[in-house]
């Protein structure tokens, strides 16, 4: 299994530790490079800045995305490691020479974060170099990666709420192994922020119905609503333009199990309008995920048609 030890801002760490969140955005102030050190499902660990040369926590890597600063705040709020947007912006801009008001930043999305008490902090591995700026990858099949893993198991098998997170096999969903990559994304239940970002990225940042690419108006719609126990699974999501999302949630629009758009006659009957929306009636979705396992679930589509859609 892959591990990544990321150099962590101590102020960020202290803030999110107090939140006890279900997910966090481990941001990078610039978005010039992607993050390819882990597949989804891999373990990302927090190594504090010197003089605190310890691993003090971590989380499960769900994905990486580049986002405008404001959208990152909208998606994660305080889980970005700041109390408000102004504080968040200051944290980012102090690492950038230019003063662009809404810069693109890198977002490492982590679910089920855990935080070790100070007496449980793990010393950095013996092959860690002081020249490392961002972080270093490890493999549990190799000496140093196995040592880190063993240290984590020792801490996380103690009586604590997060003990299930890193036990080998705990993420197996019946497969007998830790899930990574595409299989993890297909089965993992994400936090709300990661759900929003990963659904949008899965649809190539385009509205599934119209193909619209203007990112600020795109939203991740739950097919089966979260309030009705709809899970934060990518297969329970559709990327939609905000007005279409509203219509979808209120039952004026739906998707069939062959991925065609259906628009309710109620729009015309109740509002004497809707010409733009009826133009999409009967058409195939403009965007569907390429990977079969990430396509909209027909089970959730059927639930929406039977419980939300008003014919």
Average pLDDT, the chain: 90
**Unique residue bearing structure tokens 């504090």:** 48
Beta bridge partners of 240: 219
> What Å distances lie between residue 144 and 133, 137, 148, 251, 254, CA to CA?
19, 10, 6, 54, 51
pLDDT for 174:
37
Q: Is the pLDDT of residue 236 over 60?
A: yes
**Residues 161-188: pLDDT tens digits?**
544 445 443 444 334 456 677 777 777 7
pLDDT for 173:
34
pLDDT for 155:
85
Q: What percent of the chain has pLDDT over 90?
A: 77
pLDDT for 172:
41
DSSP-H helix ranges across the chain: 10-19, 69-76, 85-93, 143-156, 181-187, 192-202, 242-249, 266-271, 275-278, 298-307
For 131-155, what is the mean pLDDT?
Answer: 92
Residue 2 has a CB neighbour count (10 Å cut-off) of 19
Q: Is the pLDDT of residue 152 over 80?
A: yes
Contacts of 187 (CB under 8 A, 6+ apart): 173, 179, 233
Between 244 and 178, where is the model more confident? 244
Encoded tokens for 199:
């659904």
Query: What band does 1 get if pLDDT is binned at 50, 70 and 90?
Result: confident
Q: Which CATH superfamily is domain 2-186 in?
A: Hypothetical protein. (2.30.130.30)
Residue 54 contacts residue 124 (beta carbons within 8 Å): yes
For 232-250, what is the mean pLDDT?
Answer: 97
pLDDT for 184:
76
pLDDT for 225:
97
Residue 172 has a CB neighbour count (10 Å cut-off) of 14
Residue 116 contacts residue 46 (beta carbons within 8 Å): no
**Residues 58-108: pLDDT tens digits?**
999 999 999 999 999 999 999 999 999 999 999 898 888 777 888 999 999
**Residues 250-297: pLDDT tens digits?**
999 999 999 999 999 999 999 999 999 999 999 999 999 999 999 999
Residue 159: exposure state from Cβ atoms within 10 A (0-12, 13-18, ≥19): exposed
Residue 229 has a CB neighbour count (10 Å cut-off) of 7
Q: Is the pLDDT of residue 213 over 50?
A: yes
DSSP category for residue 83: S
pLDDT for 158:
67
DSSP category for residue 308: T
pLDDT for 23:
96
Q: Is the pLDDT of residue 121 over 70?
A: yes
Give the predicted TM-score (pTM) of the model. 0.90
Distance CA 208, CA 219 (A): 10
Q: Where are the domains of the chain?
A: 2-186, 203-307
Query: What band does 52 get if pLDDT is binned at 50, 70 and 90?
Result: confident
What are the E-state strand segments in the chain?
2-8, 23-28, 43-48, 54-68, 104-115, 122-123, 135-139, 218-222, 237-241, 253-255, 261-263
Give the HSE-up count for residue 30: Cα atoms under 13 Å, Cβ half-sphere.
Answer: 9
């Amino acid at each position: 299994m892959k591990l990544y030890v990321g150099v962590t801002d101590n102020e960020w760490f202290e803030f999110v530790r107090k939140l006890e969140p279900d997910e966090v955005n481990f941001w990078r102030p610039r978005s010039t490079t992607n993050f390819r050190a882990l597949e989804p499902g891999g373990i990302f660990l927090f190594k504090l800045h010197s003089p605190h040369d310890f691993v003090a926590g971590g989380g499960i890597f769900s994905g990486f995305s580049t986002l405008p600063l404001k959208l990152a705040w909208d998606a994660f709020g305080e889980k970005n490691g700041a109390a408000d947007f102004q504080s968040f912006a200051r944290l980012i801009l102090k690492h950038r020479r230019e003063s662009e008001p809404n810069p693109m930043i890198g977002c490492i999305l982590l679910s089920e974060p855990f935080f070790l008490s100070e007496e449980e902090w793990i010393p950095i591995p013996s092959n860690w170099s002081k020249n490392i700026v961002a972080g270093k990858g490890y493999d549990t099949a190799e000496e140093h990666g196995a040592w880190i893993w063993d240290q984590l198991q020792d801490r996380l098998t103690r009586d604590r709420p997060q003990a299930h997170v890193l036990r080998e096999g705990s993420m197996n969903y019946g497969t007998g192994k830790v899930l990574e990559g595409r299989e993890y994304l297909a089965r993992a239940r994400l936090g709300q922020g990661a759900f929003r970002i990963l659904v949008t990225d899965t649809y190539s940042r385009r509205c599934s119905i119209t193909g619209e690419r203007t990112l600020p108006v795109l939203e991740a719609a739950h097919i089966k609503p979260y309030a009705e126990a709809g899970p934060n699974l990518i297969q329970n999501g559709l990327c939609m333009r905000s007005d279409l999302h509203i219509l979808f949630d209120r039952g004026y629009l739906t998707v069939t199990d062959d991925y065609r758009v259906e628009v309710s006659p109620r729009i015309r009957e109740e509002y004497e309008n809707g010409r733009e929306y009826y133009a999409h009636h009967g058409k195939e979705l403009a965007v569907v995920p390429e990977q079969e396992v990430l396509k909209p679930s027909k089970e959730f589509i059927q639930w929406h048609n039977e419980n939300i859609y008003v014919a």
